[in-house]
Structure 1
Amino acid sequence: MAIKKELEGGIGEPLVEANEDGTAQKSKGQPWMVYFSTFIAVCGAYEFGACAGYSSPTQSAIREDLSLSLAEYSLFGSILTFGAMIGAITSGPIADFLGRKGAMRFSTAFSVAGWLAIYFSESPWPLDIGRLATGYGMGMFSYVVPVFIAEIAPKELRGSLTTLNQFMIVTAVSVAFIIGTILSWRALALTGLIPCAILIFGLFFIPESPRWLAKRGREREFEASLQKLRGEDADISHEAEEIQDYITTLDRLPKPKLLELFQTRYLRSVTIGVGLMFCQQLGGINGVCFYVSSIFELAGFSSNTGSIIYAILQIIVTGIGAALIDMTGRKPLLLISGSGLVSGCMITAAAFYFKVHEVALGAVPALAVTGILVYIGAFSVGMGAIPWVVMSEIFPINIKGLAGSLATLVNWFCAWLCSYTFNYLMSWSSYGTFILYAAINALAILFIIVAVPETKGKSLEQLQAAINA
């Protein structure tokens, strides 16, 4: 495996050529360490979901116990997103400096401190500081977990393993919603420490990302990490050479600054990564997710029943998406997901249109529930997880920290924007809100068709070289 890229002139042939026989050398080892490492890493994703799901079932209890006004509790709920934005800004540089495992430890420390602050809170300020700290850890995890999994996984498993990140997030949100109806708000905060404990302990037993070690010039540790991940009997020579050749070439290029990410060399990968984050969040998911109970109530359907069905469906369909991603590919699932989002929005819009104009009122609850369930099912099968998968795949390692931080920051800003504007939009027009989301999701489909490549079945080096050639 040799790199054929000539550095003069900046743009030329791809950095990595395909193998002479067109296939990758197969490993004889069993990747049990990849599975174990992924399990440990996705505890960070579960922590993400535990943070996101905490505020909904605890609202009335916290307000009553601490005598919080609605404005004070709203600050407590929303400050999580601001913490996540700060985490997003710093996630890439920290993961590049401390390593992927170091960044997960750093995130865990903030999460533990945040949960303890919430648990011991007797007034609004410690509560808000704790929520901000858990938000910071959440923003860090949203970047480093999928990146770590993508960098350790063999290409034939990379998609499904990276998708487990989203599966664990939605599972944790659903678990928090269910057990939050049984536990006190302080006890529920302590449950957020469980994934942190598993992560802290488990990180001692899993290897660091071999690609990060290679980038840092730690050759012996790089080879030991890759061998441990691929199995003792696996021949890692081809994969190791490919990674080393690619990183050697990247090291000869200047390390880009923020504005230089938009140069021709990196413009396509940045456009794809950031564009998918816009598509994921501006299509309405946080508005629907945060206010699903009120949507069901407005449509005349039981909010408790609807929310439980919503939570269960989200877990099931996310699992299906994880199973399918390495068989069908990323792009087909994104297109199916986008089409389902448009359909779900239009069905929900029709339900509210009928209600506003007092037409077929008996059908409104069923239509609204159908539309929301189609929407969340479609989101869960593709648009929920795949933008994070693609983001973790397409950025070369010399810009991954900076570009990944940018994409993650855009995601969190758009998440805040969507959740902040949702109630205002619904006050303007309930059916108009979902027509707007349908239009945005239709534009997302067009973006996916035009700009997003299929990343299935390619090594990270092959993929990144082709996109950034």
Structure 2
Amino acid sequence: MDEQSSSTLDAEAAVNRNGDTTDDFDNRNGNTKILRRMDTVPDIKRDTSGITTQYIATGIVNLGAFAAGVCVAWSSSALPLLTTGPLEPPSPTRDVIAVENSTPSILNPHSKLALTEAEASWVASLLCLGALWGAGPAGLISEYFGRKKTLLYLALPLVVSWILVASSPNVYGLYVGRFVGGMALGAFSVGIPPYIEDIAEKQILPTLANFYHVHFSCGVLFGYVIGLVENTSWLTVLCASVPTAFFIAFIFLPESPAYLMSQGKYHQALAALRYFRGIDNDIDSEIKQLKERIRNSAKIKVTFKELFGTRSNVKALIVSFGLMVFQQMSGIYPVLFYAKTIFEKFAISLNPPSAAIILGFCLVSSTYFSTMLLKVVRRRVLLMVSFAAMAVNLSCLGIYYHLKASNLSPSSTWVPLFTLCLFVSFYASGVGPIPWLMLREIFPPHMTRRATALTAGFHWFLAFGVTKLYQNLVDMVKPGWTLWAFAITCIIGIIFVYFFVPETKDRTLQEIQDEFEGIHKKRKHRHVIEVESVSEA
């Protein structure tokens, strides 16, 4: 009798676990349960809603963004060790002299190199030129070969690029290595956001989407920290460890459910979505929405030409391109690429490697802070305040340089470090993430990825131009006037935002596109005569 009763209880428990006839099962699948879990810190051991899995998966895939940040910071740490000094014409005897005055070793083949500042500027900027060529086709490749495969195999050219940089006997090997690494960097910038959009729930998508900028900033900080090694070969080996770790960690994650569904792999898509949602979520409705979305996207074939088909899309492109122009012309990449060199020129009171680490820490903390700031502050206000603060700090640094050149200021102060820390902090709080965030808010969903690829390519083209021309500007008009030029660009950016950029926070896509089309809702007017007649009665 006891055995029968225990088996009955076990059967009822099994029904309660697997069936859908109990209230407890409904509560587990209800929205109340999900929202309550989202308000708490996920517990990896007990959480079954998938929130923890989505956070961990987003952190792993954004190791690619971390690797991109390391690529940017490498220039600041390594180029001062390889550069001879002032701009000088190339000489066939330069490498011979460098070999005679150095002690080359297997661990440091770069002891044979002595780059001019012109060559160093090419080594730095070719990363952005490579990113231009990598960003364009990355979106199309991921649609045909899969999000995971595309991102996973990007680690290979990045490792190859670091091998070329570490073992290059001449400057041309550095050129090729940086260009190849840049192609992977640009592809990461286009390929990572779609994967996150496919695996994230709508409620946490804005937070997870900002992980890219946070990880990129952390990569910059990591590159500045390992710059304390002051050995280019070991520095490059440490940089190569990041894409290696990304490959090992990312290989265990499943493919994007949306891509699997688009390829007709229904059961694999179901398993992948279940992996990211956990057992607490009922994924049937999401599967239906996913099928409908893929069916609609198959009917609507979006090409780059169609981005210019309507007035609203053209204006959206003008806004996105304009924001990228003023974002890059503010001088952020020259500051990140040449941080150590800038601190050496301004003769700060702190040693340049340590100052660069402080700069990287300010970039990371401000990028993380922007995640919360974007939830409460309007986009236009944050952009204008960010541009204004950046202009003020660049102007102060330009004035300091002129005073220093006239011997009217102390030789070693904290002013350059303080102003540049504020500059990157305000950049990371507004001008940095908002142009990328707006791409999802001003374009229709079926055009977002094409618009992102086009805008990302334009972004890296501008980054290449500004980074390459920075050294030429410094040589022609000195750092002070170069900083003033960046400050004036930020002021023009304020004007552009005020007149051309719409507010997107808490607004629907239809409202934003109506504004682009020049359609405004008519305000309701009171009929004064009727009101007066009613009051008299």
Q: TM-score, normalised by structure 1?
A: 0.81
Q: Which amino acid in the other structure matches residue 501 of structure 2? A: A
Provide closer, same or farther for how the CA distance between residues 43 and 236 of structure 1 changes in structure 2, counting only shifts above 3 A.
same
Aligned to 2:138: 91
Aligned to 1:186: 233
Aligned to 2:435: 387
Number of equivalences = 442
Aligned to 2:532: none
In 2: Cα distance, 1:204 partner to 1:464 partner: 40
Shift in Å at residue 415 of structure 1?
Answer: 0.8
The answer for unaligned runs of 5 or more in structure 1 is 1-23
Higher relative contact order (CA 8 A, sep 6+): 1
Query: Percentage identity across aligned positions?
Result: 24
Aligned to 2:418: 370
Q: Which amino acid in the other structure matches residue 139 of structure 1? A: G
Q: Which amino acid in the other structure matches residue 224 of structure 2? A: F
Q: Which amino acid in the other structure matches residue 54 of structure 1? A: W
Aligned to 1:40: 60
Deviations 1:403-457 (A, max 9, x none): 2221111111111121122234344264443333233223333444542443579
Give the conservation status (yes or no) of the 8 Å contact 2:122–2:468: no
Provide closer, same or farther for how the CA distance between residues 75 and 441 of structure 1 changes in structure 2, counting only shifts above 3 A.
closer
Moved more, 375-384 or 180-189: 180-189
Moved more, 151-160 or 98-107: 151-160
In 1: Cα distance, 2:147 partner to 2:511 partner: 21
* 1:439 and 2:488 aligned: yes
Q: What SS is found at the alignment partner of 1:208?
A: coil
Q: What SS is found at the alignment partner of 1:156?
A: coil
Question: Which residue among 62, 65, 82 is the counterpart of 2:111?
Answer: 65
Moved more, 235-244 or 174-183: 235-244
Give the conservation status (yes or no) of the 8 Å contact 1:160–1:325: no
Deviations 1:106-149 (A, max 9, x none): 31121122222333333444443322221111111122123322
Give the conservation status (yes or no) of the 8 Å contact 1:33–1:229: yes
Q: What SS is found at the alignment partner of 2:504?
A: coil
In 1: Cα distance, 2:242 partner to 2:388 partner: 35
Q: Describe how 1:285-324 pairs up with structure 2 within 5 A.
A: 285-302=332-349, 304=352, 306-324=355-373
Shift in Å at residue 172 of structure 1?
Answer: 1.8
In 2: Cα distance, 1:404 partner to 1:67 partner: 39
Q: Which amino acid in the other structure matches residue 450 of structure 2? A: L
Provide closer, same or farther for how the CA distance between residues 288 and 98 of structure 1 changes in structure 2, counting only shifts above 3 A.
same
Aligned to 1:137: 184
Shift in Å at residue 332 of structure 1?
Answer: 5.0
In 2: Cα distance, 1:221 partner to 1:346 partner: 56
The answer for unaligned runs of 5 or more in structure 2 is 1-29, 35-48, 84-109, 518-537
Question: Which residue among 497, 501, 504 is the counterpart of 1:451?
Answer: 501
Give the conservation status (yes or no) of the 8 Å contact 1:274–1:406: no
Aligned to 1:103: 150
Aligned to 1:8: none
Shift in Å at residue 313 of structure 1?
Answer: 1.6
Q: Which amino acid in the other structure matches residue 207 of structure 1? A: P
Question: Which residue among 449, 469, 477 is the counterpart of 1:428?
Answer: 477
Give the conservation status (yes or no) of the 8 Å contact 1:351–1:365: no
Give the conservation status (yes or no) of the 8 Å contact 1:92–1:400: no
In 2: Cα distance, 1:364 partner to 1:230 partner: 55
Question: Which residue among 443, 460, 463 is the counterpart of 1:415?
Answer: 463
Give the conservation status (yes or no) of the 8 Å contact 1:273–1:407: yes
Q: What SS is found at the alignment partner of 2:78?
A: helix
Provide closer, same or farther for how the CA distance between residues 443 and 246 of structure 1 changes in structure 2, counting only shifts above 3 A.
farther
In 2: Cα distance, 1:49 partner to 1:247 partner: 34
Aligned to 1:349: 398
Aligned to 1:9: none
Give the conservation status (yes or no) of the 8 Å contact 1:96–1:401: no
Aligned to 2:69: 49
* 1:340 and 2:389 aligned: yes
Moved more, 123-132 or 388-397: 388-397
Give the conservation status (yes or no) of the 8 Å contact 1:163–1:322: yes
In 2: Cα distance, 1:448 partner to 1:156 partner: 28
In 2: Cα distance, 1:103 partner to 1:452 partner: 34
Moved more, 187-196 or 443-452: 443-452
Provide closer, same or farther for how the CA distance between residues 447 and 152 of structure 1 changes in structure 2, counting only shifts above 3 A.
farther
Provide closer, same or farther for how the CA distance between residues 96 and 462 of structure 1 changes in structure 2, counting only shifts above 3 A.
farther
